[in-house]
Amino acid sequence: MDFGQLMQFVITGLTIGSIYGLIAIGFVAVYNVTGVLNFAHGEFAMVGALTSISLIHAGLPLFLSIPLAIAITAFLGGMIEKTTLSPVRNASVVTLIIITLGLSIIIRGLGYILWGAYPLSMDPFSNNEPIHIWGAVLIPQSMWVFATMIVLLGGLYVFFEKTVFGAALKACVVNRKAAELMGINTKSLSTFSFIMSAAIGAVAGIVITPITSATYDMGLFLGLKGVVAMVLGGMNSLTGAVLGGLVLGLLETFAGGYVSTAYSDAISFAILILLLFFAPNGLLAKASGKRV
Amino acid sequence: MRKKLGMIVILLLWIALVGCSASSPSNETKSSQAKPSPSGKAEPASGNAGDMVKIGVVLAETGPASGLGKPEIDAIRLVKKKLEAQGGMIGGKKVEIIMKDYETDDTKAVLAMRKLIADEGVSVVYGATQVSTSIALRDIALKNNVVFLSGAPIGQLGETVFQTGQTSEVLIQQMIDYLKSKNIHTVAWINARDAFGQSGLPIMKKLAEPNGIEIVDAEDFDASATDMTVQLSKIKAKNPGALIVWSRTPGAGVVVKNFKQLGFTIPMLQSQAAANDAFLKQVGADGEGVLVQGSKASVAEQLPDSEYKNRLIQHNQEMMAEYNYPGDIFTTKATDAMNIIFKAIEAGNTTSDQIRDFLENQLHEYQGLSGTFRYTKENHAAVDDNGVSLLPIHNGAWSYSK
């Protein structure tokens, strides 16, 4: 087996894996606060990516259009939570999840109306000369994706574990009643978690677009793989989500490279099912009494 | 625990949902073949045989295949507009074009086709942007004895089924001729795992050997995948003389990007499914030098002077005026389909049987925008390759070299 090819598979696997990980982080962030799997998360990535492309086409420089697109998406996330989830916040978690599922379909439809069906591309953030490592090729944008993922992971970790506000957010999902009794405004925190999720989604969508191009229906694919990465990592762990994403990416690439690209999805899903049989709480399961 | 269980059930439902919607456009759709309606077959509505002829159109105006379906339906709208401007009459018959968008969903296409036949009583249907859909519609057409002009290459036709646009054999032969002219004898192949993507390789395998071309590697990818580096690394190790890509956008464009990143220097040949604006926009500067099998309409201005060139330029101008983009392989194909139906009606043919008979015996040699049609009773797919060419992308636009 050729070593350069092996290296290429590792690099491709890590690139795809960090895309999945980036999306999975956003899922975990909302899940940790509201206990809801936000199925519209992939759509936030789509909105962020396509908005920034539109802004760039409108003549704004890259460094301005990216924060602006993130802000717009975050605002949209907040508005959506206020208008759709907030009014029914006492409904069961399953109802809330189904609402997010509906939201994802609506946002995708709006995306189609606004941006059309054609894939749009964005220039890479930095020089796009591929870097050669031991016979394999690394695209600089892959490093941007990887770095963004690490920075987000670190930032969110500090936020959830080291700040009072973050702790308050986590308290909401452990016991909403108790959190309210402790003086935490659970209502506004749920809105905040959606703003955060939308912003994280937008960041992810924007940073991966130079690699994948952006279409109105990209959220579907990203969301699916992101959820799988999240489940692999144990639903509520940020580090687990990142690891889950990387493992999934590597699995797919190696299955595609050494077995057959026709079965790479089947193989990775089969492994996922096996994993859930034997380690139902994911890779980084904490044996905690958190869930009842 | 119950909460988690509920969530996992929803998760599974969602995966099923995503799976269905992602795979439905690419299914071979054996399951959605026309089941006979209670009365045996859909009875055409009465009142069609007289002075009224209805033409059905079933295309993917929206959904993932809309990059291809939108130009087709726009071109037909233009034809319809011109028809209505002259009173909607051809050869003394009132002609009505009824358009249906099947949203890149085979099931919706089948329903639309059945409705067109049963409720509207159409004599002829043009349709389907995708291969899988066209196959499903073909079976309904055959069962109901309605003339069906397939816009997609579906191989097996039938008594009442014709194909507009070149067959894959004709198109792949053109690619092989190009390779031979450049003295290239080894080739790698990559296609999307959908009905169109999978339709090419068997034909390539059949044609390669007698032409002295060796296929050194054949790979495929999921139609919605965003990275083909793995497949291209495998291809690179085999060191082929050229790469043929058989996929629609966005997959076709992703291959171009990864191809560039991996530092390939061999020629890349792309199929007609990539011959649209969406592809040009997606690949940007990475597309320089890529050869795409496209309509000569895309390079009309660069063609040598001829009557054909003038007609293409006129078509482009009309498209520009109406929709702000020029003609391409899809607009020309759809326009030709309408025009040959009009020719049949003009000659006094209104029923399915009459139109079929006209196409087989009286169309003879029809010079369309997409090529020369030579339908006969034996060959329902005879369209010459003179309307298409391998167009190199130069400075983000199509160019012509011959």
pLDDT at A292: 36
pLDDT at B35: 41
Q: Is the pTM of this model over 0.80?
A: no
pLDDT at A75: 94
A256 in contact with B at a CB cutoff of 8 Å? yes
Q: Which of B7, B222, B254 sits opposite A97 (nearest CB)?
A: B7
Question: A227 contacts in B (CB within 8 Å)?
Answer: 11, 14
Query: ipTM of the predicted structure?
Result: 0.70
pLDDT at B15: 62
Better-scored residue on pLDDT, B23 or A217? A217
> Can you tell me the mean pLDDT for B261-289?
88
Residue A287: pLDDT band by 50, 70, 90 thresholds? very low
Which of A233-237, B182-186, B377-381 is least confident? Answer: A233-237
State the best of A228, A261, A291 to mutate against chain B, taking most chain B CBs within 10 Å.
A261
- Closest A-chain CA to B260: A130
pLDDT at B154: 85
Q: Locate A118 and state its tokens.
A: 């054609």
Residue B4: pLDDT band by 50, 70, 90 thresholds? low
Using one digit for the tens of pLDDT, what is the confidence trace for B65-123? 887 888 999 999 999 999 999 888 888 889 999 999 998 889 999 999 999 999 999 99
Q: A121, B281: Cβ pair inside 8 Å?
A: yes
Question: A37 contacts in B (CB within 8 Å)?
Answer: 7, 10-11
Residue B124 confidence (pLDDT) above 90: yes
Burial of A172 (0-12, 13-18, 19+ CB in 10 A): buried
Q: A262, B249: Cβ pair inside 8 Å?
A: no
Using one digit for the tens of pLDDT, what is the confidence trace for A121-137? 888 888 777 788 877 88
Using one digit for the tens of pLDDT, what is the confidence trace for B347-378? 888 899 999 999 998 888 888 898 899 898 88
Q: Which of A104, A91, A99 is nearest to A23 (CA)?
A: A104
Residue B230: pLDDT band by 50, 70, 90 thresholds? confident
Query: B36 preceded by cis ω (within 30°)?
Result: no
pLDDT at B204: 92
Mean confidence (pLDDT) of chain A = 84
Contact partners, residue A156, CB within 8 Å, separation at least 6: A25, A29, A200, A238
pLDDT at B268: 95
Please answer whether residues B256 and B233 qualify as being in contact, where contact means their C-beta atoms are separated by less than 8 angstroms. no
A281 in contact with B at a CB cutoff of 8 Å? no
A12 in contact with B at a CB cutoff of 8 Å? yes
Could you please report the per-residue DSSP string of B158-192?
Answer: BTTEEE-S--HHHHHHHHHHHHHHTT--EEEEEEE
> Nearest C-alpha of chain A: how many angstroms from B277?
9
Using one digit for the tens of pLDDT, what is the confidence trace for B8-41? 666 666 666 555 444 444 333 333 333 444 444 4
pLDDT at A283: 66
pLDDT at B147: 93
A120 in contact with B at a CB cutoff of 8 Å? yes
Residue A94 confidence (pLDDT) above 50: yes
Q: A5, B237: Cβ pair inside 8 Å?
A: yes
H-helix or E-strand containing B391? strand B388-394
Mean confidence (pLDDT) of chain B = 84
CA dist A260 and B25 (Å) reads 22
Considering only residues 200 to 239 of chain A, which have any Cβ-Cβ distance to chain B shorter than 8 Å? 211-213, 215, 217, 220-221, 223-224, 227, 231, 235
Using one digit for the tens of pLDDT, what is the confidence trace for A46-86? 999 999 999 998 988 888 999 999 999 999 999 988 898 88
> Can you tell me the mean pLDDT for A237-263?
85
Please answer whether residues B104 and B63 qualify as being in contact, where contact means their C-beta atoms are separated by less than 8 angstroms. yes
State the best of B261, B276, B288, B330 to mutate against chain A, taking most chain A CBs within 10 Å.
B261
Q: A119, B253: Cβ pair inside 8 Å?
A: yes
Q: A15, B227: Cβ pair inside 8 Å?
A: yes
Using one digit for the tens of pLDDT, what is the confidence trace for A2-34? 777 888 889 989 998 999 999 999 888 888 877
- Closest A-chain CA to B283: A121
Residue A289: pLDDT band by 50, 70, 90 thresholds? very low
> Can you tell me the mean pLDDT for B231-247?
91
Q: Are strands B268-270 and B243-246 parallel, antiparallel or unpaired?
A: parallel
Better-scored residue on pLDDT, A126 or B330? B330
Residue A205 confidence (pLDDT) above 90: yes
